[in-house]
Amino acid sequence: MDKMIICRCEEVTLGDIKDTAEQYDATAREIKLRTRAGMGYCGGRTCRPAVDKVLEDITGEKPGDQIPLKVQPPVRPVTLATLGGRTNDT
């Protein structure tokens, strides 16, 4: 079961998350930053609830009213050209 991938984008496994939590006695936020779980191409849209659940299980931190890992723009991958103001680039 530890080999099961949780974050598809970064191929972070359940084992990676558990080991990181244990090794660094880390908070939910720190685990995400260390493993990159939920921080790949999709911005965590697919695995965010799953990652949050594992972290809750490991750290015992209950979800608060704040979204666990702050959502940062851009919320979709965009090319530098788009950020630079060019349109119709797809």
What's the sign of the alpha-carbon dihedral 14, 16, 29, 75?
negative
Structure tokens at 61: 């931190």
Q: How many residues does the chain have?
A: 90
Residue 35: CB minimum distance to another protein, A: 11
Task: Please give the Cα distance from 2 to 61 (Å, whole number).
Answer: 21
16, 26, 29, 88: which one binds another protein (CB under 8 A): 88
Applying the rule CB under 8 A, the residues between 12 and 51 that interact with another protein are: 14, 41-43, 45-50
Residues contributing to the site for another protein (CB under 8 A)? 1, 3-6, 8-9, 11, 14, 41-43, 45-50, 53-54, 57-58, 63-67, 70-79, 82, 85, 87-90
